[in-house]
A and B are shown apart, each in its own frame.
Chain A
Amino acid sequence: MKKFFGKIKNWFISHAPTKRRIIQLYSALLHNAYLKGFITGDMYKGSTKNVCFPGLNCYSCPGAIGACPLGSLQNALGESSVRTPTYVLGILALFALMLGRTICGWLCPVGLGQDLLYKIKTPKIKKSKATRVLSYLKYFMLIVLVVIVPLMFAVPGFCEYICPAGTVAGILSFPNNPDWLADLGPFFTWKFTLLIVIIVLSIFCYRTFCRFLCPLGALYGFFNKIALLGVKLDKNKCTDCGLCQGVCPMDIKKVGDHECISCGKCISVCPAKAISWKGSKLFVRKNDTDMPAQAESANLLGMVKPKEEAVENVAPETTVQTDKIAENTASEVKTDEEV
């Protein structure tokens, strides 16, 4: 019995939430701070709804205390014949400039939900060429459903046909507002079906919605390279070993590109210490990553090659050594299959 409880204690210690997870939880709570709304079914009508929140969170959710950036953008574009949609565009520009897709990785409540679903232990679908191609689907969503449909038909296309956050908001609201049930029809049936498909796929495939469908992520992705916060790669130190891409659950081609959600997993595994946080002195500690337990222990045990040694080994003419370093490091650095 004592052994069993010891195991449980060890499990809790080794599975203690990372800083990223804690920030995600706080952020989800902050997005939905009107907890009373979940019980009474009322919507929050305070002045904080003047401002858009960074993450995807339907403003019709009973707990939401801010406006959804994507819904606001679509409505603003739908009303562009009345007024120029400068307000929402300005807010989005500032969010994107400051955080880029760090918002997806650290602040978005929908992202948190998918991260938790992916924790369920089932066989997983790994990233491949197909997922890479499918990751461009979100740009179709952005151009067609978020821009063209609202501009042409004054309808928030993404909210109406796709958004799973809105469907969840509906499901949470219906018990306290039974009158709305009379209006259920093809829209809800379709959106509920899509929600179930997204939930099921998120259990097998990392962040299905973020990677393939989310237009907000697509929009923030454009600003990833110039964002003030995120991860950056020092090209002079990089040995092209490919471990960063190997450990990354998103469909990145390079560290910090438009697919990168700045989760920080790559920082821990980089043998040449070529990846670091942007503005780390201002915002975060240098080695504040998403997988401290495994990677830091690997570092402490001296499993990861120190920076100087790794760089020294890779002279420009000895190209084969780059592969060797990757192989060596791959056999040395160990981590969970899914984090």
Chain B
Amino acid sequence: MTDKTKNNLRKGVGLFLSVWTVLVGVAFIVQVWRIYGLGDNPFTVDSIGAYFRQIAVPVYIWLAAVVIGGVLLLAFPVPQKKVTPYIDLKCTLARLNKRLPESGEEAKKLQKKRLVAQWICVVAAMACAVIALVYMVADYQLSATSGFFAEHTEAERLLRALIWFIAAAALAIATAYFVQGTYKKEIAFAKSEIAANAKNGVKVTAQAERVTLKDVLLKKFAFMQSKWFTLGLRIVIGVLGVVFIITGIFNGGMKAVLYKAITICSQCIGIG
């Protein structure tokens, strides 16, 4: 069997396993919602088992595919792959900029765009966080008057807060990709400028490194990087930990942990 055939076989099984994994997952989810929606409560092991037996065949196929995938790997081992370095665009750009007397006009525009995008993201994310926090803690009239949400007001608050968190996360992901794009473009500009300078025989003196707020803060709090500061912090936290535990033993904290741990936690196992 040629390497190409082996590779195709591995890919085929991998792809089948991926699709089947998702399908089996969806089948499980559908069945559990069917039990909740259609099942007769009080549930019994048999009545729930009947729902899951309906998806037994796909699950067995999935298990077989996992085993076959393993056997295939045994028969046709995957060729070892190279470890590829993680390219940090920011570091790469900083290195390239050291070989340029000054950033070009286009590069400066990109830097401005990047800065604006980052600040917009920070402000918007903070706004989302504040709104989410208000939904969590503020005293306001909730919409549900009966049913699940009326019994669990924190669930309704969480749902409202989560929407704002998702919005912030989406914005952050979009900004991250935009920033990455600007770095890539700026690197391309820097490389072309370096090449042009080399071609024209321009002698380059490295541009002064831009001092960022992070640099200033790092310099100011340089003592925090020292070995002795770390040691001191470790001792403080260690001593505090021991004192807290002793205090907890005497204020009943330990008994509370034991009581909770030996009693079935209905919330944990999902029965309310």
Contact = CB atoms under 8 A, between A and B. Distances in A.
Interface stretch (B73-81, B112-120, B207-215): B73-81
Interface stretch (A20-28, A101-109, A160-168, A256-264): A160-168
A87 B254 contact: yes
Given A129-B180, A226-B234, A72 B271 contact: no
Interface in A206-258: 223, 225-226, 228, 240-248
Interface string A68-83: 1001100110010001
Contact of B169 (A47, A133, A173, A193): A133
Classify chain A's interface size: 35 or more
B245 A45 contact: no
Contacts of A247: 83
B201 interface: no
Q: DSSP class of B's interface residues: helix, strand, loop or mixed?
A: helix
A196 interface: yes
A327 B84 CA distance: 8
Contacts of A71: 260, 265, 268
Contacts, number: 313
B269 interface: yes
Given A191-B270, A196-B25, A247-B83, A121 B73 contact: yes
B173 interface: yes
Contacts of A59: 260-261, 265, 268
Q: Name which of B32, B237, B249 has the most chain A CB atoms within 10 A of its CB.
A: B32
A121 to B, nearest CB: 5
B158 A161 contact: yes
Contacts of B99: 319
A94 B242 contact: yes
Interface in B139-164: 148, 152-155, 158, 161
A11 interface: yes
Q: Name which of A83, A87, A156 has the most chain B CB atoms within 10 A of its CB.
A: A87
Contacts of A87: 244-245, 247-249, 251, 253-254, 256-257
Q: Name which of B95, B137, B268 has the most chain A CB atoms within 10 A of its CB.
A: B268
B86 A129 contact: no
Contact of A189 (B17, B33, B173): B33
Contact of B81 (A191, A326, A335): A335
Q: Name which of B43, B98, B261 has the most chain A CB atoms within 10 A of its CB.
A: B261
Given A59-B261, A97-B241, A181 B253 contact: no
Given A50-B254, A83-B251, A184-B271, A122 B161 contact: no
Contacts of A327: 85
Contact of A166 (B88, B152, B176, B268): B268
A204 B18 contact: yes
A245 B88 contact: yes
B222 interface: no
B261 A49 contact: yes
A167 B269 contact: yes
A180 B267 CA distance: 12
Interface string A172-211: 0111001011111111111111001101100110000000
Given A159-B267, A240-B91, 14 more contacts: A49-B261, A71-B265, A87-B251, A129-B177, A133-B176, A149-B154, A152-B137, A167-B270, A183-B271, A184-B36, A188-B270, A196-B29, A226-B233, A334-B83
8 contacts: A66-B261, A83-B256, A84-B247, A90-B245, A161-B158, A178-B44, A183-B271, A242-B87
Interface of B: 10, 13-15, 17-18, 21-22, 25, 28-29, 32-33, 35-36, 41-45, 48, 66, 69-70, 72-75, 77-78, 80-88, 91-92, 95, 98-99, 132, 136-137, 148, 152-155, 158, 161, 165, 169, 172-173, 176-177, 180, 230, 233-234, 237-238, 240-249, 251-254, 256-258, 260-262, 264-272
